[in-house]
Chain A
Amino acid sequence: MIHSLFLINHSGDIFLEKHWKSVISRSVCDYFFEAKEKAVDPENVPPVLQTPHHYLITVYRGKLFFLSVIQTEVPPLFVIEFLHRVADTFQDYFGECSEGVIKDNVVTVYELLEEMLDNGFPLATESNVLKEMIRPPTILRSVVNTLTGGSNVGDMLPTGQLSNIPWRRAGVKYTNNEAYFDVIEEIDAILDKSGTTVFAEIQGAIEACVRLSGMPDLTLSFMNPRLLDDVSFHPCVRFKRWESERVLSFIPPDGNFTLMTYHVSSQNLVAIPVYVKQNISFFETGSCGRLEITIGPKQTMGKTVEGLMVTIHMPKAVLSVNLTATQGNYTYDLATKVLVWDIGKLNPQKLPNLRGSLSMPSGVPKPEENPSLNIDLKIQQLAISGVKVSRLDMYGEKYKPFKGVKYVTKAGKFQVRT
């Protein structure tokens, strides 16, 4: 089971350690530092490391390494999932997950870690339950606590902890009862030089924000549930109902949560909202190259494409760029060699275009690799897979809640090869 946790910042300082069994010297992290040195980029540090007596399992979140030490055979996915959950909890409690904020709230962090794991076994990881035991810090509360000597640790047994619905606390009360669902889809795609789709799939998620009093029992149904053949649910969803009727039936947790995620696989046809015409070339002689990119709408289902942005990792040899954009601005970071073109809204009448020259030091051979383009975009009010919620019903409570469903499509890992 999970033995110890070390939090390590970007530059390699251990700024927090927590042991759930015996204390393990922090020198065990030296093996990790060695691997980190070797990997150059922090993203590339292997997540599972073997040392003579321990295993180190690491996740990299928000420029921090969460490094856990284990001694016996433990499912690594279990550890990784848990570490991400720790990061999520910090995010949830403090609004961000950074070294500064963790140091500012070190005692709460420590109390949380103690509550989340007991002897290496997860104890309470649901945010609803944790918040009942350890209240998140707010400026108001700390002022009140200082004045009254109150505490931010609950002294009641969290009610949800042992019921059959551990994710929901009892006695929830709101004056405005509301339930909002966001259907968010991300397109992961690889397009080749000529614009043909090499690979495309959709990662979808339904994010919920539910503030309903009492114990509401909700049913969410879809217009076209057949699209959803690969799904993962929040534990609250009744799987049997889904299997038999293709509806989501659940008693929701209180607050924000991910109701389900789904995956529309590469075997279905995935609509690609934009096309990209690009030409990046380097001359055999001389020390320059040319770049020209045009983006236009393809399958947008009549909606507007917003937040369009192109990111290119240029070859190391490219010293500077001299480009003109018909729309938006571009920046070129000389240190990281990253070209970012922020376009904004896509106007189908006047296609955005970026062209100009790339300069390289003379005498350097023509770069071998072809940079690839990463595209960012957003389309409001559209789920590109075609998934649509048809209705939401509530049982078990008398009041009439506000209901709302929003759709948005974004680019995930959307990559155009050159």
Chain B
Amino acid sequence: MTDSKYFTTTKKGEIFELKAELNSDKKEKKKEAVKKVIASMTVGKDVSALFPDVVNCMQTDNLELKKLVYLYLMNYAKSQPDMAIMAVNTFVKDCEDPNPLIRALAVRTMGCIRVDKITEYLCEPLRKCLKDEDPYVRKTAAVCVAKLHDINAQLVEDQGFLDTLKDLISDSNPMVVANAVAALSEIAESHPNSNLLDLNPQTINKLLTALNECTEWGQIFILDCLANYTPRDDRESQSICERVTPRLSHANSAVVLSAVKVLMKFMEMLPKDLDYYGTLLKKLAPPLVTLLSAEPELQYVALRNINLIVQRRPEILKHEMKVFFVKYNDPIYVKLEKLDIMIRLASQANIAQVLAELKEYATEVDVDFVRKAVRAIGRCAIKVEQSAERCVSTLLDLIQTKVNYVVQEAIVVIKDIFRKYPNKYESVIATLCENLDSLDEPEARAAMIWIVGEYAERIDNADELLESFLEGFHDESTQVQLQLLTAIVKLFLKKPTETQELVQQVLSLATQDSDNPDLRDRGYIYWRLLSTDPVAAKEVVLAEKPLISEETDLIEPTLLEELICHIGTLASVYHKPPSAFVEGSRGVQHKRLPGSAGSGESVESPDAGSAAGVSDAPPAVIPSQGDLLGDLLNLDLTPPSATGPPPAATSGMQMGAMDLLGGGLDSLMGDESEPLGGDLGGSPAMGAGFGAPPAAMPASFNAPVSSGGLDDLFDLGGGVGMPMGAYSPPKAIWLPAMKAKGLEILGTFARRAGVIQMEMTLTNKAMSVMTDFAIQFNKNSFGLTPAGPLQVLTPLSPNQSIEVALPLNTVGPVMKMDPLNNLQVAVKNNIDVFYFSCQYPISMLFVEDGKMERQVFLATWKDIPNDNETQFQIKDCHLSSDAASNKLQGSSIFTIAKRTVDGQDMLYQSIKLTNGIWVLAELRVQAGNPNYTVSLKCRAPEVSQCVFQSYEAVLKN
């Protein structure tokens, strides 16, 4: 006797037959019929037509039948709301049943019926159940509050359920506590600013007690909640750590990882010299290793998280390299992740083992994996200098296998090795050249061409090699074409006599026969450079390239810190901040690691020499400070004084050339483009290219370049003065009465206490009363959407006006608009629907926590390519720099540092947008000159124009 019998149908029509059976007098027959109905439901058949008949079976003392009917109700109540009301009575009655199982079942099921009308009847029984004497009922009721909140948030707040829920955190039963925490966390996710989970030492203590006694799932919720707490001092931090550590030995891997999160976060606060700190570090390794012997899906999530942990605290797993060795039957997604971590852990001590493994992997079957393994060998060479030679010879061995994709990958990484160790391994070029014909992927071809061009003087037949590529020039991809153009120009500069014909050929191919503007413009630049000033051309094209950094794909320190706070979540799997992708997380809530005790600003790993301490500017990602200063100074090359033309006035040709050259050289360097492109773009050599010798650079700019200069430069600690209210433009007519059947809307936007508001004056200029107002936004660039309904409660009679403030949030769907700050709005009333569009000042999207750390500012400024920099002029502004800074701060534009050079004040400022985009700014104010210059740098340069408009608006109002 199996349930498969429920799937058999007769010819007469299933529904008809079921209906008859449901109305049967025999209990047993009824139950069988309900089972059949459920069986059909599970496979997705529509049996909603049976609703009244099934609900009729609900009043029964048979628990199984009741449960089955409830199952059915949950599925179909939504589609039959009127019928669902029929069930309410039974629910209310069941909530009074002497059997706690029935009480709990009723309240649980009621919460799952997502019908508005029913929720009203739910409130009373729910309130009773929240205070029930039986903890089983209380814990079920706690979850029910979350369900109800999902259906009708307002109702839950009005009825005071949130407070009752908060009280349950102090319940005597640990399971009730766990469920209350889970419910509150879920509700809090939709209320980022509400202080629902008010964590204080007392509640923390209660949570820690419940932690030991509740179920494994409850432990996960409690640990995740603990992770949001910031302890007052290192002693509290230590005591929490001590109580959480036993969770590391739990059989449930989710508990383990949540515990790791809490420990990783609270560890930041412990002094490094504390014995306990070392003990804790040692305790973290075994559970992480154990996660790797679990099911592959768990391994995958664990590995993604270990990747973060290893970047933050490499010392934890530095002796555990072997557990990351790839096994033959690991799924591919596990293999790729393990490989990544192996490279992160590679060091001089274990490099021999790692290389032997990687070489083994390079002969495996799976192409993706083999490619990554070959790349990994290259990354090892770049990371561990002592191993470079061995890596290169391993790569050469692999090239000898002649397996096509292996050879191509090897060539791509060898190019990087050349960049890291110039003039060391060029002896292998001959071997590389032998494999020229087998390269069919653009990346490999481009890499090979780069090598030939870069070392043209050592390759006797470089011209022949390049010429052979030139034959199919038009069939190549853009990457290869650009590379070929540059390589041939390099070749020409090195061996001008033999290659004149070749260079002319490529220049004409690029400029005359190509449709690609990038290629064409790069061709023109080279052509002009070569024809006007070959010396300058040499300086530009053959400029010495900076070395590439040791580790390429490290996560940005600020992001890493945030991700560490999110260990075990989806964010940690995707290595993206939660605000960037989780639809449900409303509002941006960035989590930061707490500062360490004592020092308060910088976190130092115990072995600071080798480990990449994050705030401590690891040598790899953040360039040395001297370098940075130089770069900041470079920005001053065109001072806004009378001596040089303002940048805006520079001829189009010249501007274009600057950008192009920067961009061109970028792509030339492939992966490592950023530092190079950045440096060349604004370097003195550029000036030279256009005839201005570098010596013309005012000497005074060099003066402050000293290591001490940096401190002076950023002596401007905290914010300047008191913040004033954020700027809000005056109201403008958005919707004229003519176009909207008598409804006139004047409006503006404002940011008040962190809430974006759309403030409108609605005027009725028609003859009749207007009612039923509603508002909706189209998708827009920043996901602006009304946070609540439009509150026009009373009807608007003729010639009456009403002021409305509509709070907005930024969690709506995103679509890029043109202009960026354009907002399309639909307003409805009893007459019609009207559409208009308006532009909001981007300054209302500047969030209050947009003040960047100085170090981070420096690093970020450097990190953003110069191409992303835009300059604007603000005319006729008569504020002093301090006053300007004050004013800007009111609109959440924060001054991080100020320095003065030659009577010119430079303010370095940061802004953060609601969607997490950072904008860095440099504002130059010359005493006595009413024209300010703003340079904006941002990873999303499209916002620059809008931000500039805000600057102008804020400063002038």
Bind each other: yes
Known: A104-B4, A118-B108, A151-B64. A413 touches B329 (CB 8 A): yes
CA distance A384 to B210 in the complex (A): 39
Answer whether residue B655 sits at the interface, using C-beta atoms and an 8 A cutoff.
no
Q: What is the CB-to-nearest-CB distance from B282 to chain A, in angstroms, rounded to a whole number?
A: 10
Do the beta carbons of B289 and A230 come within 8 Å of each other?
yes
Residues of B within 8 A of A82 (CB): 217
Known: A104-B2, A230-B287. A119 touches B112 (CB 8 A): yes
Answer whether residue A36 sits at the interface, using C-beta atoms and an 8 A cutoff.
no
Answer whether residue B182 sits at the interface, using C-beta atoms and an 8 A cutoff.
yes
Answer whether residue B652 sits at the interface, using C-beta atoms and an 8 A cutoff.
no
Interface residues of A in 41-70 (CB under 8 A from B): 43-44, 46-48, 50, 53, 55, 57-60
Residues of A within 8 A of B189 (CB): 72-73
CA distance A417 to B326 in the complex (A): 12
Of the residues A77, A151, A166, A240, contact of B254 by C-beta under 8 Å = A77
Interface residues of B in 240-290 (CB under 8 A from A): 246, 249-254, 256-258, 286-287, 289-290
Answer whether residue A139 sits at the interface, using C-beta atoms and an 8 A cutoff.
yes
Do the beta carbons of B585 and A26 come within 8 Å of each other?
no
CA distance A156 to B136 in the complex (A): 12
Answer whether residue B17 sits at the interface, using C-beta atoms and an 8 A cutoff.
no
Residues of A within 8 A of B14 (CB): none
Interface residues of B in 314-356 (CB under 8 A from A): 319-320, 322-323, 325, 327-329, 331-333, 356
Residues of A within 8 A of B328 (CB): 313, 372, 374, 413, 415
Known: A53-B583, A77-B298, A153-B63. A105 touches B3 (CB 8 A): yes
Answer whether residue B301 sits at the interface, using C-beta atoms and an 8 A cutoff.
yes
Do the beta carbons of B42 and A106 come within 8 Å of each other?
yes
Of the residues B44, B331, B403, contact of A26 by C-beta under 8 Å = B44
Answer whether residue B238 sits at the interface, using C-beta atoms and an 8 A cutoff.
no
Answer whether residue A388 sits at the interface, using C-beta atoms and an 8 A cutoff.
no
Answer whether residue B682 sits at the interface, using C-beta atoms and an 8 A cutoff.
no
Do the beta carbons of A58 and B182 come within 8 Å of each other?
no
Shortest Cβ distance from A108 into B: residue? B3
CA distance A48 to B571 in the complex (A): 12
A1-30 vs B, Cβ < 8 Å mask (1 yes, 0 no): 100000000000011111111110010000
Answer whether residue B429 sits at the interface, using C-beta atoms and an 8 A cutoff.
no
Residues of A within 8 A of B323 (CB): 199, 201, 265-266
| CB within 8 Å: A-B pair count | 260
Do the beta carbons of A107 and B68 come within 8 Å of each other?
yes
Residues of B within 8 A of A372 (CB): 328
Binds A, one of B410-418, B574-582, B743-751, B871-879: B574-582
Do the beta carbons of B254 and A75 come within 8 Å of each other?
yes
Answer whether residue B401 sits at the interface, using C-beta atoms and an 8 A cutoff.
yes
Do the beta carbons of A81 and B357 come within 8 Å of each other?
no
Q: What is the CB-to-nearest-CB distance from B390 to chain A, in angstroms, rounded to a whole number?
A: 18
Interface residues of B in 181-235 (CB under 8 A from A): 182-183, 186, 189, 213, 215-217, 220, 224
Shortest Cβ distance from B290 into A: residue? A263
Interface residues of A in 127-155 (CB under 8 A from B): 139, 142-143, 146, 149, 151-155
Do the beta carbons of B3 and A73 come within 8 Å of each other?
no
Of the residues A77, A143, A201, A417, contact of B257 by C-beta under 8 Å = A77
CA distance A114 to B184 in the complex (A): 22
Q: Specify the main secondary structure of chain A where it touches its partner.
A: mixed
Do the beta carbons of B220 and A75 come within 8 Å of each other?
yes
Q: What is the CB-to-nearest-CB distance from B165 to chain A, in angstroms, rounded to a whole number?
A: 14
Residues of A within 8 A of B1 (CB): 139, 142-143, 146
Interface residues of A in 380-418 (CB under 8 A from B): 413, 415, 417
Of the residues A153, A154, A263, A369, contact of B286 by C-beta under 8 Å = A263
Answer whether residue A216 sits at the interface, using C-beta atoms and an 8 A cutoff.
no
Residues of A within 8 A of B254 (CB): 75, 77-78, 80-81
Counting chain A CB atoms within 10 Å of each CB, the highest count among B2, B182, B364 belongs to: B2
Residues of B within 8 A of A126 (CB): 215
Of the residues A43, A114, A413, contact of B71 by C-beta under 8 Å = A114
Do the beta carbons of A47 and B300 come within 8 Å of each other?
yes
CA distance A193 to B578 in the complex (A): 46
Residues of B within 8 A of A1 (CB): 186
Q: What is the CB-to-nearest-CB distance from A11 to chain B, in angstroms, rounded to a whole number?
A: 16
Residues of A within 8 A of B252 (CB): 81
Residues of A within 8 A of B258 (CB): 75
Q: What is the CB-to-nearest-CB distance from A259 to chain B, in angstroms, rounded to a whole number?
A: 10
Residues of B within 8 A of A229 (CB): 286
Interface residues of B in 113-164 (CB under 8 A from A): 114, 134-136, 140, 143-144, 146-147, 150
Q: What is the CB-to-nearest-CB distance from B292 to chain A, in angstroms, rounded to a whole number?
A: 9
Do the beta carbons of B135 and A162 come within 8 Å of each other?
yes
CA distance A103 to B574 in the complex (A): 35
CA distance A192 to B328 in the complex (A): 12
Residues of A within 8 A of B296 (CB): 43, 47
Do the beta carbons of A107 and B251 come within 8 Å of each other?
no
Shortest Cβ distance from A77 into B: residue? B254
Shortest Cβ distance from B182 into A: residue? A121
Residues of B within 8 A of A37 (CB): none
Answer whether residue A97 sits at the interface, using C-beta atoms and an 8 A cutoff.
no
Shortest Cβ distance from B258 into A: residue? A75
CA distance A417 to B328 in the complex (A): 9
Count the B residues whose beta carbon is within 8 Å of the partner chain — how many?
Answer: 106
Of the residues B297, B322, B333, contact of A59 by C-beta under 8 Å = B297
Interface residues of A in 258-292 (CB under 8 A from B): 258, 260-261, 263, 265-267
Answer whether residue A164 sits at the interface, using C-beta atoms and an 8 A cutoff.
yes
CA distance A372 to B328 in the complex (A): 7
Known: A75-B224, A76-B569, A81-B252. A166 touches B101 (CB 8 A): no
CA distance A125 to B140 in the complex (A): 15
Residues of B within 8 A of A71 (CB): 583-584
Do the beta carbons of B39 and A198 come within 8 Å of each other?
no
Answer whether residue A231 sits at the interface, using C-beta atoms and an 8 A cutoff.
yes
Do the beta carbons of B249 and A198 come within 8 Å of each other?
no
Do the beta carbons of B360 and A258 come within 8 Å of each other?
no
Q: What is the CB-to-nearest-CB distance from B221 to chain A, in angstroms, rounded to a whole number?
A: 8
Answer whether residue A377 sits at the interface, using C-beta atoms and an 8 A cutoff.
no
CA distance A162 to B136 in the complex (A): 7
Do the beta carbons of A370 and B333 come within 8 Å of each other?
no
Counting chain B CB atoms within 10 Å of each CB, the highest count among A14, A48, A121 belongs to: A121
Residues of A within 8 A of B136 (CB): 157, 161-162
Residues of B within 8 A of A245 (CB): none
Q: What is the CB-to-nearest-CB distance from B342 to chain A, in angstroms, rounded to a whole number?
A: 12
Of the residues B63, B322, B331, B578, contact of A73 by C-beta under 8 Å = B578
Shortest Cβ distance from A151 into B: residue? B64
Counting chain B CB atoms within 10 Å of each CB, the highest count among A17, A81, A109, A199 belongs to: A81
Do the beta carbons of A78 and B64 come within 8 Å of each other?
no
Residues of B within 8 A of A103 (CB): 3-4, 7
Residues of A within 8 A of B363 (CB): 368-370
Residues of A within 8 A of B39 (CB): 106-107
Answer whether residue B695 sits at the interface, using C-beta atoms and an 8 A cutoff.
no
Q: What is the CB-to-nearest-CB distance from B842 to chain A, in angstroms, rounded to a whole number?
A: 26
Answer whether residue A233 sits at the interface, using C-beta atoms and an 8 A cutoff.
yes
Do the beta carbons of A122 and B215 come within 8 Å of each other?
yes
Q: List 11 A-B contacts (CB under 8 A).
A: A1-B186, A19-B75, A48-B570, A55-B570, A77-B301, A78-B217, A105-B3, A106-B6, A122-B215, A152-B64, A188-B293
The 5 closest A-B pairs by CB, nearest first: A72-B584, A230-B286, A104-B2, A153-B64, A47-B297
Point out residues on A near B: beta carbons under 8 Å.
1, 14-23, 26, 39, 43-44, 46-48, 50, 53, 55, 57-60, 71-78, 80-82, 84, 103-111, 114, 118-119, 121-122, 125-126, 139, 142-143, 146, 149, 151-157, 161-162, 164, 166, 188, 190, 192, 198-199, 201, 203, 229-235, 239-240, 242-243, 258, 260-261, 263, 265-267, 313, 315, 368-370, 372, 374, 413, 415, 417
Excluding A16-B43, A155-B63, A368-B401, 18 further A-B contacts by CB distance (< 8 Å) are: A22-B78, A46-B300, A47-B300, A60-B297, A72-B189, A77-B253, A80-B295, A106-B3, A107-B39, A146-B28, A152-B64, A157-B99, A157-B101, A162-B136, A190-B327, A235-B215, A235-B250, A417-B360
